[in-house]
């Protein structure tokens, strides 16, 4: 079982952090009468909002009806789902409580009055209604006005520490202080991230703990990787380095990208292509490709236990062939000036590509293959001025086009 499920708190006093806020919620529910304002829990992901509401319902013996953003798209849908509950609540026998999760997800262009309808319903409900949201936005202002708001904060380092200790206890594991502090820092108060990080470290590495004792800089580690003479020494060095195996398929923060071992090796190898023979280059990349397959399989099956073999496999395949090539660390896979013309331009064209895909009734990839450059050519040839893309990003897209026209 994933640890985030295994350690989902089940009783209302089992939570770490936001004690004061949880008390406000308990207080609100125990004093709830018809006509009380509904409750809105604001707060970032991983602060235990959803689990807390579930345990609360259990404790106070309510039947919980839970709806989240994907159930609540528009007015007619909401009406169909909610009104029967409110009108017939007494018929169900047991006490009912309504939980609307992720209400900041009810938005976008397809939302025909979902939130304003909600605001009306909230005003005079027969049953307690609790909502949860990660953020506030303009569309929510009516809902905000008619609710009692409790703001959950990211877990404090101390609460995070207690949670880690609790889990370590249950797992009968110990972890050195430095590593604990590092997990806390990385998770930034998100309990889910904290638990995932802990599971990675405990189930994913050889020694079980003490992985991140002393940290070498990424650059140093990669240079050492390509220069060390002794394979055992290299292995030891890797164990203590900040480099890690990860997969962009499961999301990739800036920091993860720079610590991603395979990516760092790839960037360094291709940036030094001039010093490497075709044969050798093909070999090196083929090895990376193989390790990439292995690592991704581990992630897809959540077999983090196996992650500890990745270094060995990598060393077996890559160590000998990559000696004496003079490969230096590079943070990017392309020379610096090209980052603008390839990555940044690519980013900035995205809204145009998406709009054309809607206009031409085809995938964005087909737009790239058979439409985009022709379209730009036609626009450059003609004198059209501002265009109508029938998109709410029209202004932005027209700006992009002006910029593209200025390109030679």
Binding interface with ligand ADP (CB under 6 A): 361-362
Map the footprint of other proteins across residues 186-215, applying CB under 8 A.
none
Name the residue nearer to other proteins (CB basis): 78 or 163: 78
Nearest position to ligand ADP, beta carbon:
361
**Range in contact with other proteins (rule: CB under 8 A) among 113-121, 204-212, 231-239, 277-285:** 277-285
**Range in contact with other proteins (rule: CB under 8 A) among 40-48, 128-136, 222-230, 274-282:** 274-282
- List Cβ neighbours of 84 (8 Å cut-off, separation of 6 or more): none
Does 253 bind other proteins (CB under 8 A)? Our answer is no
Q: Cite the DSSP H helix spans in 205-335.
A: 218-227, 231-239, 254-259, 261-271, 278-301, 310-318
- List Cβ neighbours of 237 (8 Å cut-off, separation of 6 or more): 216, 221, 224, 225, 228
Does 2 bind other proteins (CB under 8 A)? Our answer is no
Distance CA 338, CA 323 (A): 29
Does 342 bind other proteins (CB under 8 A)? Our answer is yes
Name the residue nearer to ligand ADP (CB basis): 107 or 362: 362
Sign (positive/negative) of CA torsion 387, 389, 390, 392?
Answer: negative
Q: Taking the complex as a whole, how short is the minimal distance between the CB of residue 219 and other proteins, in angstroms?
A: 20
Distance CA 291, CA 307 (A): 11
H/E/C letters for each residue in 311-378? HHHHHHHHCCCCCCCCCCCCCCCCCHHHHHHHHHHHHHHHHHHHHHHHHCCCCHHHHHHHCHHHHHHH
**Range in contact with other proteins (rule: CB under 8 A) among 143-151, 177-185, 213-221, 270-278:** 270-278
Contact 310, 204 (CB under 8 A): no
Contact 96, 125 (CB under 8 A): no
Does 91 bind other proteins (CB under 8 A)? Our answer is no
User: Distance of CA 297 to CAs 91, 123, 259, 260, 354, Å?
Assistant: 51, 51, 19, 16, 31
Orientation of helix 218-227 relative to helix 231-239, angle to 10°: 170
Give which of other proteins, ligand ADP, none residue 295 binds (C-beta under 5 to 8 Å, depending on kind). Answer: other proteins
**Binder to other proteins among 209, 216, 228, 375 (CB under 8 A)?**
375
Distance CA 49, CA 341 (A): 44
Q: Which two tokens stand for residue 205?
A: 């590495």
Give which of other proteins, ligand ADP, none residue 371 binds (C-beta under 5 to 8 Å, depending on kind). Answer: other proteins
Q: Taking the complex as a whole, how short is the minimal distance between the CB of residue 308 and other proteins, in angstroms?
A: 17
Name the residue nearer to ligand ADP (CB basis): 227 or 362: 362
Map the footprint of other proteins across residues 388-407, applying CB under 8 A.
388-390
Contact flags string 343-372 toward other proteins, x per CB under 8 A = x-xxx-xx--x-xxx-xxxxxxxxxxxxxx
Mark 347-360 as b/e (b = at least 16 C-beta within 10 Å): eebebbbbbbbeee
Name the residue nearer to other proteins (CB basis): 73 or 139: 73
**Binder to other proteins among 334, 351, 393, 399 (CB under 8 A)?**
334
Does 68 bind other proteins (CB under 8 A)? Our answer is no
Does 96 bind other proteins (CB under 8 A)? Our answer is no
Does 377 bind other proteins (CB under 8 A)? Our answer is yes
Does 262 bind other proteins (CB under 8 A)? Our answer is yes
Does 286 bind other proteins (CB under 8 A)? Our answer is yes
Tokens 């490497």, located at residue: 276
111 CB-contact burial (10 Å; exposed 0-12 / middle 13-18 / buried 19+): middle
| Helix (H/G/I), strand (E/B), else coil: 131 | strand
Name the residue nearer to other proteins (CB basis): 95 or 353: 353
Distance CA 93, CA 59 (A): 17
Does 73 bind other proteins (CB under 8 A)? Our answer is yes
Name the residue nearer to other proteins (CB basis): 130 or 284: 284
Does 325 bind other proteins (CB under 8 A)? Our answer is no
Name the residue nearer to ligand ADP (CB basis): 359 or 398: 359
Does 61 bind other proteins (CB under 8 A)? Our answer is no
Here the contacts of 357-364 (C-beta below 8 Å, separation 24 or greater) are: 358/390, 358/391, 359/389, 359/390
Give which of other proteins, ligand ADP, none residue 33 binds (C-beta under 5 to 8 Å, depending on kind). Answer: none
Tokens 């590593």, located at residue: 179
Does 257 bind other proteins (CB under 8 A)? Our answer is no
Give which of ligand ADP, other proteins, none residue 281 binds (C-beta under 5 to 8 Å, depending on kind). Answer: other proteins
């Amino acid at each position: 079982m994933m640890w985030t499920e295994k350690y989902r708190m089940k009783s209302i006093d089992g939570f770490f952090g936001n004690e004061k806020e949880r008390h406000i919620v308990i207080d609100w529910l125990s004093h709830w009468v018809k006509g009380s304002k509904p409750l809105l829990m604001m707060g970032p992901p991983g602060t235990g909002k959803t689990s807390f509401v579930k345990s609360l319902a259990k404790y106070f013996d309510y039947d919980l009806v839970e709806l989240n953003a994907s159930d609540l798209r528009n007015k007619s849908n909401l009406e169909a789902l909610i009104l029967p509950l409110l009108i017939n609540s007494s018929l169900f026998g047991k006490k009912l409580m309504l939980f609307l999760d992720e209400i900041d997800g009810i938005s976008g262009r397809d939302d025909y009055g979902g939130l304003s309808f909600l605001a009306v319903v909230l005003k005079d409900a027969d049953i307690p209604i609790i909502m949860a949201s990660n953020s506030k936005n303009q569309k929510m202002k009516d809902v905000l006005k008619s609710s009692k708001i409790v703001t959950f904060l990211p877990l404090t380092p101390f609460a995070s520490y207690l949670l880690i200790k609790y889990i370590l206890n249950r797992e009968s594991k110990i972890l050195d202080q430095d590593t604990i502090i590092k997990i806390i820092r990385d998770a930034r108060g998100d309990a889910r991230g904290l638990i995932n990080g802990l599971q990675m470290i405990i189930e994913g590495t050889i020694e079980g703990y003490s992985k991140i004792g002393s940290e070498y800089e990424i650059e140093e580690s990669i240079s050492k990787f390509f220069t060390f003479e002794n394979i055992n020494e290299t292995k030891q060095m890797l164990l203590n380095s900040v480099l890690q195996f990860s997969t962009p398929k499961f999301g990739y923060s800036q920091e993860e990208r720079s610590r991603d071992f395979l990516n760092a090796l790839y960037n360094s190898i291709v940036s030094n292509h001039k010093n490497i023979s075709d044969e050798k280059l093909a070999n090196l990349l083929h090895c990376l490709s193989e390790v990439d397959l292995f690592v991704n399989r581990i992630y897809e099956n959540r077999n983090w236990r196996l992650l500890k073999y990745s270094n060995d496999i990598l060393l077996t395949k890559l160590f000998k062939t990559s000696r004496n090539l003079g490969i230096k660390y590079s943070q990017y896979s392309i020379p610096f000036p090209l980052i603008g013309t390839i990555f940044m331009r690519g980013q900035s064209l995205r809204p145009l590509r998406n709009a054309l895909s809607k206009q031409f009734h085809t995938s964005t990839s087909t737009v790239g293959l058979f439409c985009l450059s022709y379209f730009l050519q036609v626009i450059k040839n003609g004198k059209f001025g501002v265009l109508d893309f029938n998109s709410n990003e029209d202004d932005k897209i027209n700006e992009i086009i002006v910029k593209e026209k200025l390109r030679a």
